[in-house]
Structures are given as structure tokens and as C-alpha cells.
Amino acid sequence: MSSLYCFTDISELTKAPKGALPVQLYDLEVKHQLDNVAWIGSAIRSGVAGLGVRTGIVPFDFLTIALAVCAADTFVERDLSGDGWTRVINLSIPLASPAIWKPVKGKLEQTLSFLSGDQWSLSFRSGGDKPPEPLVSRKGRNLSDLVGLDSVCLFSGGLDSTAGAIDLLASGKKPLLVSHGYTGDRKYQKQVFKLLRHHYPRSDHFSLNADPHRKPKSTEVTMRTRSLTFLAFSVIALDALNRANNSKLSEIVVPENGFISLNVPLTLRRIGSLSTRTTHPFFLSQMEEILAKVGFDVQFKNPFGFHTKGELLIKSRAPSILKKCITNTVSCSHWKRKHKQCGICVPCIVRRAAIHNSDFKEPGTNYLYPRLKSVAEDPKKRDDIRALSAAIARSKDKNRLPIWLNHSGPIPPQTRERYLNVFRRGLGEIEKFLKNEGWK
């Protein structure tokens, strides 16, 4: 078991149990203390204050929980677990109002297990930070102007979230676009937002970065729980938007094509390690229920849940604007290694297949490997392409598809057939692209 003791005030450092990793939330004072320490979210409070309104305690406690989970997911390495994957994590979190969260502790632990594939044990205690005082002066600050905005949309800077934002804007909405501004990602998010703002001036961009660090440096790279942090940022944004406008909005738009959202394991080998559930409909529904039980009404709506990536391009409300943005969007799961999309991972293949099956275009120079056949003899580089080819072959047996879909997670009976169809159509798009590339 790996234990982490999270705290906000540096005076709490000495209370960390022996063997537990001390993690400071919302500050980095601990950086100058012991060697085996960690910190996360050092710039989060100022970012939340920059919204210009004081947010509620429940949304801020949710943000605290998400940061603590992100810290555990980052600092507990899978290689050190018994099976090389499943971690057993004990996490102590200080909250402003812990009593509200204790009744949902079990459900939250189960949801985290679904999301990350680990065993979670959470404990909530008093002493957590309360929401920061809002900043009211614009001097030297870039405050969000929330008055008049009427929706919240997750905005990663990827193709799907850009398409989702454009559809909202083209329909007359005035959204607050919410980003997790990872180092590197922020540049592309800003570039796309600048293009959107040129065509649709009435919108705003709210970006935070969890920014986890540890001394000595040693981190896990799979980061399965990153979507929890993303949702927490959006919940804070929704709460602030409602307070600024005296409104009662409850919807947060989570744009993700249905094929990737389901992320059905392509092979049996990928059921655990290579199949993420960051926007899976079951995960989103569980988070809605948890937040409802602590008094926060929210619906996470995926407008592309029953669309393939190609279909969301074809059905765009403003295709000419989306085409202008496309080269600035990033879909690759490996791009941070060389700051260029690889062109051969699953997200890249899904993206390239979608573009191939629509009238959209992008230069081959967008990819490190523009031709798939160039990696045909490299076992490591061709792995995702071969897994997709194997999945396409398996999908021809229609009797196996319902059982196969179950491996991605629970699906309500009333939507099962629609999800089966989007999975089948998504593989069909990829099959056409692979054939065009001469891949056999």
C-alpha cells in the first residue's frame, strides 16, 4: 500500500504518518523542506480568485479532492505494485467541509477504481482550504469576465473539444471554455482560442494547471485520473458563472467522439493497461450522482457521444472555421515527447481516419510518421496500428460485439445499441484509412 498525506498549511507537515508521502496542496512551501516531499496546485488559488467571484465550499472541496487524487496518481508508480499495474492507494485529504463528503466516500472510491484501475482508500479530515477571496482589481491581472456568459465547455485544445466549442458558438451560445493548461498544451489552447475569439468575440477562456512536483523527481506517466481534475476545474467554473450571473445553469459540455469516449479495449491485452476511461459515459454518470449527493447539481453532456470523429467533422455547424483551427489542434497521446504528433498512436489514427473520411485536410508535416508503412517493421511503433487492424477483423463477427463492448464498462440498456453502432462505425472509418495507407 502507498500512503499520501495531503495538507495545505506547512505546519501540518510534521503530522504526516511515518511512511506516507507528504503532499502540499495549493502551495509549494514544502519544496524547501525535506527531500521526500511533493506539492501540487501552487497557482490554483490565484487562478480561481481570478474568476472574480467567491466560489462555493462544495465545488472547492471537490477541487481539493481532485488535486489530491491527481497527486497520488502522479507520484505512486505502477511498476512498484505487485502485478506491475494495480496500485493500492491510501489518501488522507483535508477539506473545508469533510462531513458532507463522508457519505459518498465509498462510491467515490469505486468510481476512482473504475477510472484508474487501482484500489483507493480515502479519508477526509477537517482543516482544508476554503475558497479564495475573489480578485476585484484588473491592474496586473487577467480576470475572467463572466457576466453574460451562458455555458461551460471543456476545452483541451484537441480536435473534438474545438469542434464542440465551435458548435456552441455557432448556435449563439456564449461559453466559458475550461482548460487544463498543461505545460506545452497551453500554447495550442491559446492559439485555437484566439482564432475562435476572432470569429466569436463573446466567450472567455479559463485555464488552470495542477502542475504536480516531487523531490526527488519520480513520477507515473499513465495519469488515468486527469479527467477528474478537468471536471473539477469545470465545476468551479460553472459555480462561478452561476454566481456572477445569478443563474442556475447545470450543464457542462464534454465534447468527445463516441469511439474514443467508449475506448473499448482493442485487444484482451489492453483491457487494463492501455484502455482509459476518462470520458466514459459510466464515469460521467457516477460523478453526476456523487456531486448531486453533496448538493451540487450538474450534468456532464457529451454532444458527440453517438458520433464518430469523422461524423462530428462532417456535421460541424461552422466547418469553415473548424478547418482554420484544425492544424493548431493536438490529438496525439505521445506528442509531448517530441512536441509533434506521432501519427501512429490510436488517437492519431482515429484523427487521421476522421479527416480522411471527410472533406477536411491537414498537411502530412503535422506528423512525425506521415506514412504508416514507414513503421511496419518496427514492433514498438506499429503496435497500435496492428491492434486496430486486429479489432477491425474481430468486429466482423457481430455476435461478439455486445460482449466486447462490456469490457469498456457498464452501458445502460437503452443506449447500448447506439454505442455499439458508433463503435462499429468508428472502426469502419479507421479501416478505410488503413486501406488507403496500404496497410494490411
* Residues 93, 97, 100: CA angle, nearest 5 degrees: 100
287 plus 349 within the same structural domain: no
* Phi, psi for 46 (deg, rounded to 5): -65, -35
- What pLDDT tens digit does each residue of the chain (440 aa) get? 899 999 999 999 889 999 999 999 999 887 777 778 899 999 999 999 999 999 999 999 999 999 999 999 999 988 877 777 889 999 999 999 999 999 999 999 999 999 999 999 999 999 999 999 998 766 655 677 899 999 999 999 999 999 999 999 999 999 999 999 877 778 889 999 999 999 999 899 999 999 999 987 766 665 788 899 999 999 999 999 999 999 999 999 999 999 999 999 887 665 444 456 889 999 999 999 999 999 999 999 999 999 999 999 999 999 999 999 999 999 998 877 778 899 999 999 999 999 999 989 998 778 999 999 999 888 889 999 999 999 999 999 888 888 888 888 999 999 999 999 999 999 999 999 999 999 87
Kindly state whether residues 250 and 338 are assigned to the same domain. Answer: no
User: Three-state SS for 177?
Assistant: strand
Q: Where are the beta strands (DSSP E) in 210-313?
A: 213-215, 251-253, 299-301
Q: How many domains does the chain have?
A: 3
Contact indicator for 87, 78 with CB cutoff of 8 Å? yes
Question: Reduced to 3 states, what is the DSSP secondary structure of residue 241?
Answer: helix
Picking from 73, 91, 125, the residue at the C-terminal end of a domain is 125
Structural domain harbouring 56? 2-42+52-125
Verify that 56 and 188 share a domain, yes or no: no
pTM value is 0.94
- Residues 279 and 258: their CA atoms lie apart, in Å, by 9
Residue 86, in any domain of the structure: yes
Contact criterion met (CB below 8 Å) for 226 and 274: no
- Examine residue 145 and state whether it is found in any structural domain, yes or no: no
Cβ-based neighbours of 428, under 8 Å, separated by 6 or more? none
Residues 221 and 281 in one domain: yes
CATH number at 275 reads 3.40.50.620
The answer to whether residue 315 sits within a structural domain is: no
pLDDT at 149: 96
- Quick check: 331 and 308 in contact, CB under 8 A? no
308 SS3 class: coil
Q: Is residue 137 part of a domain?
A: no
CA distance 423 to 440: 21
- Please indicate, yes or no, if residue 387 is contained in any of the structural domains: yes
Query: Residue 383: its pLDDT value, please?
Result: 92
Verify that 113 and 200 share a domain, yes or no.
no
Q: Are residues 249 and 198 in the same domain?
A: yes
347 and 261 assigned to the same domain: no
- For residue 130, tell me if it sits in a domain: no
Integer CA distances (angstroms), 297 to 36, 235, 246, in order:
39, 10, 15
Residues 76 and 157 in one domain: no
**Residue where a domain terminates, one of 282, 301, 320:** 301
Domain contains 144: no
Q: Single out the residue of 31, 239, 281 nearest to residue 152, CA to CA.
A: 239
Do 290 and 365 lie in a common domain? no
**What are the CA-CA distances from residue 399 to residues 72, 355, 396 (Å)?**
40, 30, 9
Do 164 and 113 have their domain in common? no
The answer to whether position 308 is within a domain reads: no
Among 21, 265, 302, CA closest to 153 = 302
Alpha-carbon distance of 238 to 253, in angstroms, equals: 11
Residues 239 and 293 in one domain: yes
Boundary (domain end) residue, out of 260, 281, 301:
301
- Cis status, amide bond into 363, omega within 30 of 0: no
Indicate if 175 and 121 belong to the same structural domain.
no
Question: What's the CA gap between 270 and 9, in Å, rounded?
Answer: 41
